[in-house]
Structure 1
Amino acid sequence: MWSVRAVVESVVEHGKRALHQVRRRQAPRHHPFQRQQDLQHKLSRGVREGAGEAAAVGCVAGRAGVVASRLRPFTTQLIQSIFRRVPAPLWTEARRRTTQRLVFGASAPYFALVGVTLVGGSHGLVTRDDELEALCGTVREAITRAGWLHNPEFWKSHKEASQQQVKEQQQEKYEKQELNGDEELTFSLADFTLGPVIDKGCNAVVYAARWKTDEHEEAQTSTGKCESQGAVARTPTTPCGPCEDVQQEKDTQIEAAETWHNEFPLAIKMMFNYEAESNAPAILKAMYKEILPAQCAQLDPAQQEWQERLCGPRVCLPPHPNIVDMPCVFVDRVPLLEGCLDLYPHALPARLNPQGYGRNMSLFCVMKRYDISLREYLQKYHPSQHTCLLLLTQLLEGLLHLHTNNIVHRDLKSDNILLSLAEGWQYPLLVVSDFGCSLVGDNSNLSVPFPSREADPRQGNAALMAPEVKTAMPGLLSSVFFGQSDLWAAGTLIYEIYGLDNPFSPAAALHRRSKQLDSATYKESHLPRLPRTAPPWIRHLTADILRRNPRTRPTVNVAATLCQLMLWAPSKWLNRHSLSLPTHTEVTQWLLCLATKVLCEARLPHVHASTQRERKRNAGLEGNADHQGSQLEYQLVSTFLGRVHYVDIIQAIKWNRAF
C-alpha cells in the first residue's frame, strides 16, 4: 500500500498536469491543416535561415502534440478516477490515525509546539501585559504563602491577642474537659478576667479583659501591678528642671500604657439584648452581623444546627490587617459587674435590676484591644502629611477587603475606626470595627430591594449616608445600591484626617457654627476645600469620591491603589505632565523590589521594646525614620502585593493624570 506522502505527491503531480491540460484546452483551437501549414512555414523559414536541425525538432514536436491531444481523454479519466477513488479512503485512515495519536498518544510535543508557535513572536497570543499580569499573580502567591499579611510575630511580641492564643486556650480547655469527662467545648465569661470599662455606646459596652491563668500566674500579675503602681506613685514630684519634668512625665505615661496593655491585652464587647430571647440561636439570629469578623463562634452542635437553620451558613469575613481582630464570640448570661448599675442600668435583666429591660443572656465578642479611636486620635494629635496618607491608605484597604467579600459597612464614622499605637502615634495601625449595621450581599452588585418603607434597608449614620442611598424612594421595582456608599463615607472622613471638620457631621456644624451639608441635597460646589498643605491629588480624589453620581466616582480599588502608589512608587510615574506610562521593565523591577524587601527584610529580628522606648525618648517626635514605623510600612506593602494587578496600577496612574 502506498504511503500517505507518496499518495499526496502523486495527487499533486497529476493535479498540475490536469491544470496544464485545462489551460491548453481553453486556448484557441486550430485546424490540423492550418497547424500543418504553420509548421511548414516555420520549416521553410528555418531552411531559409540555414537551421536544418531546428526543422527536425519542430517536426518531432508536432507529432508529440498530435499524440498528446489524442491521449488527453484517457489521462483526464485516469486523474479523475484517482481523485475520486484512491485518496478518499487513504485520507480518512490517515486522519483517524493522526487524531488517535494526538489525543491518546504522544500529544505533548505536538501541543507544546503549537503553544510555542502561538505565544512566541511579536504577534503572539500572550502580550507583555499578560506577562506582567502573570508576574503579579506570582507575587500575590508568594506574599500569601509567606504569611506576612497578618504579621503574627510582631504583634505577639507586644503581647496582643491573636488567633493562635485562642487555639492554645481552646486546646488547654479541651484537655481539661477531656479529663473531667465533659463533652461540651464552649468559651464563657468564666475563661476571662474583666477589667475596667473602655468604652460605652448605645448598644454595647466594652471591657478590658485577659485570659484566666492559674493562681500562681494571677498572683504574679497582681504583684507586678502593685509594684508598677507603687513605682509610679514614688515618682519624685520635684524635678531638677523643666526638661526632666517633661521627660519623667513621658516615661511615666509610656510605662503606664505598657503595664495596662500587658495586664489586659483583650477587649470584650457585651451587646445589650432587649428583644432576643435568652438562648444562643435567637441571639445569634438577632446579632449575626456583629460576628462577621469573628474567626470562630464557640457553639455546641445543637446551637450550631439551630444557627444554620435560622440564619443560614455563617458568613466569616477573612482576616485582614485593617479589619478588627476578633478571635471568637460566645453567648453567656449577663453578669453583675462593678459600676453596671450606673453605666447601663436599663440594659440589665430584671434579676439584676428590677427597673431593667434587658434579657438574661447576651452576645460577647472577644477582640484585640486597641488604644484609641480615630476621633480621639485626631483631637489629641496633629498628624503629619505622611501619617495622614498612612491612615487614608489603611482605611481604603479595609474597605476594599469588605467590598471584595461583598460586605458593606453602612455605619462608617470616626468612632467606629480604631487605632493601635504600638509603634508610636505617628505610625498608627487602623482597623474598621462595629459591623452591627453591615450588609452581606449575594453578589458584587450590592443592591437591595426597596418595595416599601416597612422594609427599609437604609441603616447606619444618616448624616454620612451616600446620596444615592438617602434619596432612594420605595416602589415595586425600586432598589438601593450600596456599592459606593462606604467609599462616599470615607470621602467625608478625609476632611477629618486632614484637620478639618466633617462638613456632613451635625456635631462639627455646631462646633464651627456653620450650616451642615445634607447628603440628599448638597451640591458639589458647596464642598469646602481641603487645606493647601494637602497634596493636589488628595483634593481631587476627595472631590471625585464625593460626587453625587456614583458612576462618576472612582472605584475603591483605584483609590486604594493610588494611595499605595503615592507611598511607594517612583515620583515620575505620578507626574501629571508625563505623556507616557511606565514601561513594562520598570513595573517589573518595582514589583520585584517591593516583594524582595517584604520577604527578606521584614523577617529580621525585631528591636527590643526598651530600645524602641529609648528611641522615642531621644527623638523629638518620638520616632526614627530609619526604624520606627517599619513594621506598619511592611504590612501596608504586603497588603498591596497580596492583591496587586497590573491593570489596577495602570488605571490608577491614568486617573491621576486625568484630573
Structure 2
Amino acid sequence: FSAQRIRSASNLSDTGKSTFYACIAVYTVGLLRAEKVAKNITPLTDIALDVSLSFQTIFIRKNKPLKDPLSAFRWQGFKLDEYLIGQPIGKGCSAAVYEAAIPLSSNYQRSEDSKPLEGTSPDTQWDHGPVIQAAETKPIQTNKQGAAFPLAIKMMWNISAGSSSEAILSTMRQELVPVSSAALSGEYGAVACHRRPVFGKKRLEPHPNIIQVIRAFTSSVPLLPGAYVDYPDVLPLSLNPSGIGHSRTLFLVMKNYPCTLRQYLSERNSDAHLSTLMILQLLEGVDHLVRHGIAHRDLKSDNILVEFDSAGCPWLVITDFGCCLADENIGLRLPFTSWYVDRGGNGCLMAPEVVTAIPGPGVLIDYSKADAWAVGAIAYEILGLCNPFYGQGRSSLESRSYQEDQLPALPDTVPFDVKQVVKMLLQRDPIKRLSARVAANVLHLSLWGENILVPKSLKLDKMIGWLLHQSAATLLMDGLVDKSRVETKMKMCFLANLEYEDLWEAAFLLLSWRSHSV
C-alpha cells in the first residue's frame, strides 16, 4: 500500500476507512507470514494456525447480523400497548404469532380494513401487515403489505407457569436463548438478567443465520383477533370462563420475514448454486449453535425463515428455540435416565442416536451432531425432492431404522460435492457423520476454492495464500459493495470460524471423494 493510497483513505466514509484498514491488516499478516517462510523462521503448520487466529480476530467482529428494526428505539417496545398488532399469522402447540409494528419505527400507514379491537383505545388498534411464520406454526393465508409492519409478536400460551414475571421467564427460558443484548432491558428484563444463573440457560451470541428476539417481556393476556376461534382453551378466565390459561404470559418480538423455507420451496425451484448456498447457511447456523453448546432439536423447514438479499438470494434464519437444549451445566450431553426426559421436538427429524436411545443410569445422549443430521434431511427439500423422513408408505423412511443405502438418489443436476455432503450428514453413526463445521468448509471450498483443490498441488502455502486473497476480497465486498449479500456473509462466517485442522480435513475429504468417483 503506497503512501498516496493511505492518504486517499482519509477521503473515504467511515465504512470505507474501516474496510481499507482491515485490508491493510490482512495484507500485513500476509507479508509477515511470507517473510517467516522465506527465512525458515517458523514451520508452515504454525504459520497456518497463526493465520487462522488472525482471521478470526478480524472477522468475528464483523460477522454480525444486520441491525434490527428497533435498533434506533432502545427504550421502546417493552410494553404491549406500544405496539399496533395486526392479523394472526400462525399458531402452534405453544404460541400464536401476530404481525405488529411500533408506529414510530416504521412508515406505518393504516389500511382501509383496520378496525379498533372491541374494548381498546385507538392507540391499540389492529391492522394488516406483512408475513412472518414462526415456531411450530402452520401457514395462514396472509397479505403482503411490505415494510409497513416490520415486526411480529409471538404470544406464548401460559398454562402452567403461574402469573409472576419471574416464574414465566424461568419456565419459558428456552424461548429466551436467542434474545439480543437489548431484548431484556425493560421492566421484566431486569428480572431475567439478574437471575440468569438461576435459570441455567445459555444466551446465544448473534449470528446472521439465527433469529434474534429483539424484545422480550411479560404482560397481561389481551383478547387478540381470532383468539376465540384459534385458541379459546388457553385464554385466561377473565377472557373465557372455560379457559385454563393464566392472566399473564411471555411476549417475544422478532423481525418480520416474508416466508418460511417450506413456503419458499413450495413456490419456486432454486438452481444448484442457490440450493448449495441455502444448505451452507443452515450448516453455518448449526455450527454456531454447537460452538455455544446449544442444540436446536426441532429443525424443520417450518422453523426456518427466509428473506432475500439485494440480488434475490434467499437468506435463511433458524427460529423457534422452544425445544432447544441450552443448559450451562450439561452442554450437549443430556443425561437420559428415564423416559420422562425430554429429547426434543419433531420425531420425524430426530437423529438416530437420539431416537434409538434407551434410558438408564449413566446414559447420555450426545447432541453434537444431531442438528447436522436434520440439515441433511432438510437438504432433500432444498434440492427439490420430498423429505425422505416425511410421508407415508414404502417411500417413507424412519430415522430409527433406515439404512444409508435406502436414501433416495439426488437429481443429476445436484453437484457431486453437495451429494457427498448430504450423504455424509445422514450417516447413522455420529462418529462417521460430518460435523456442521467440516460440512460447511467442504461447501465453501467447493464453491470458492476450486483453484487450490488440485491433488498434486494441494500445499499449505497455497492454502494460506488463498485464505489471504479470500479475506481481502471479502472485506472489500462487505465494506464497499453491499453488506447484505448472502455470499459475502457466508465468506465472513467461514473466515470468522476458521480452524486450520477442520479446513485441512475438508480439503482432503473433497479430494478423496473426487478421486474415488473417477
Q: CA deviation at 1:605?
A: 6.4
- Matched residue of 1:437: which SS? coil
- Matched residue of 1:550: which SS? coil
Tell me, yes or no, if the aligned pair for 2:218 and 2:251 is still in contact at 8 Å.
yes
- In 2, the alpha carbon distance for the partners of 1:127 and 1:445 equals 36
Q: 2:339 aligns with which of 453, 466, 471?
A: 453
- In 2, the alpha carbon distance for the partners of 1:207 and 1:453 equals 35
Tell me, yes or no, if the aligned pair for 1:452 and 1:475 is still in contact at 8 Å.
yes
Tell me, yes or no, if the aligned pair for 1:328 and 1:365 is still in contact at 8 Å.
yes
Tell me, yes or no, if the aligned pair for 1:324 and 1:432 is still in contact at 8 Å.
yes
Does the alignment pair 1:562 with 2:427? Answer: no
- Matched residue of 2:411: which SS? coil
Distance 1:630 1:316, change over 3 A: closer
Distance 1:306 1:226, change over 3 A: same
Q: CA deviation at 1:286?
A: 1.2
Q: Which amino acid aligns with 1:205?
A: A
Distance 1:311 1:442, change over 3 A: closer
- Matched residue of 1:551: which SS? coil
Tell me, yes or no, if the aligned pair for 1:545 and 1:553 is still in contact at 8 Å.
yes
CA-to-aligned-CA distance 1:68-127 (integer Å, 9 cap, x gap): xxxxxxxxxxxxxxxxxxxxxxxxxxxxxxxxxxxxxxxxxxxxxxxxxxx999886x31
Aligned residue in 2 for 1:303:
191
Q: 2:317 aligns with which of 431, 434, 455?
A: 431
What stretches of structure 2 of length at least 5 have no aligned partner? 1-35, 114-141, 514-518
- Matched residue of 1:489: which SS? helix
Aligned residue in 2 for 1:321:
208
Does the alignment pair 1:289 with 2:174? Answer: yes
- Matched residue of 2:347: which SS? coil
Distance 1:538 1:206, change over 3 A: same
Counterpart mapping for 1:24-423 below 5 A: 126-145=42-61, 147=62, 149-152=64-67, 161=69, 164-165=71-72, 168-170=73-75, 187-213=78-104, 221-222=108-109, 225=111, 260-295=145-180, 296-297=183-184, 298-300=186-188, 303-304=191-192, 307-308=195-196, 310-312=198-200, 315-423=202-310
Counterpart mapping for 1:596-615 below 5 A: 596-604=472-480
Tell me, yes or no, if the aligned pair for 1:408 and 1:438 is still in contact at 8 Å.
yes
Q: Please, what TM-score do these two structures have when normalized by structure 1?
A: 0.63
Q: Answer 1 or 2: which has greater helix percent.
A: 1
CA-to-aligned-CA distance 1:317-349 (integer Å, 9 cap, x gap): 000000002212111111012222112212211
- In 2, the alpha carbon distance for the partners of 1:120 and 1:588 equals 11
Distance 1:332 1:443, change over 3 A: closer
Counterpart mapping for 1:506-585 below 5 A: 509-510=391-392, 513-569=393-449, 571-574=450-453, 578-584=455-461
- Matched residue of 2:456: which SS? coil
Q: Please, what TM-score do these two structures have when normalized by structure 2?
A: 0.80
Question: Which one is further off, 386-395 or 532-541?
Answer: 532-541
Aligned residue in 2 for 1:84:
none
Q: CA deviation at 1:308?
A: 4.1
Tell me, yes or no, if the aligned pair for 1:289 and 1:435 is still in contact at 8 Å.
yes
- In 2, the alpha carbon distance for the partners of 1:427 and 1:310 equals 42
Q: CA deviation at 1:494?
A: 1.1
Distance 1:443 1:560, change over 3 A: farther
Identical amino acids, percent of aligned pairs: 35
Superposition RMSD on alpha carbons, in Å? 2.8
- In 1, the alpha carbon distance for the partners of 2:206 and 2:98 equals 23
Distance 1:135 1:345, change over 3 A: same
Q: Give the aligned length.
A: 447
- In 2, the alpha carbon distance for the partners of 1:307 and 1:559 equals 37
Q: 2:485 aligns with which of 631, 645, 656?
A: 631
- In 1, the alpha carbon distance for the partners of 2:49 and 2:275 equals 31
- In 2, the alpha carbon distance for the partners of 1:309 and 1:640 equals 32
Q: CA deviation at 1:360?
A: 0.8
Aligned residue in 2 for 1:245:
none
Does the alignment pair 1:475 with 2:360? Answer: yes
Q: 1:651 aligns with which of 505, 510, 518?
A: 505
Q: CA deviation at 1:441?
A: 4.3
Q: CA deviation at 1:444?
A: 8.7
Q: Which has the larger radius of gyration?
A: 1
Q: 1:640 aligns with which of 490, 494, 500?
A: 494
Q: CA deviation at 1:558?
A: 0.5
Q: CA deviation at 1:467?
A: 0.9
What stretches of structure 1 of length at least 5 have no aligned partner? 1-118, 153-159, 174-185, 228-256, 607-628
Tell me, yes or no, if the aligned pair for 2:337 and 2:362 is still in contact at 8 Å.
yes
Tell me, yes or no, if the aligned pair for 1:429 and 1:632 is still in contact at 8 Å.
yes
Q: Which has the higher contact order (CA 8 A, sep 6+)?
A: 2
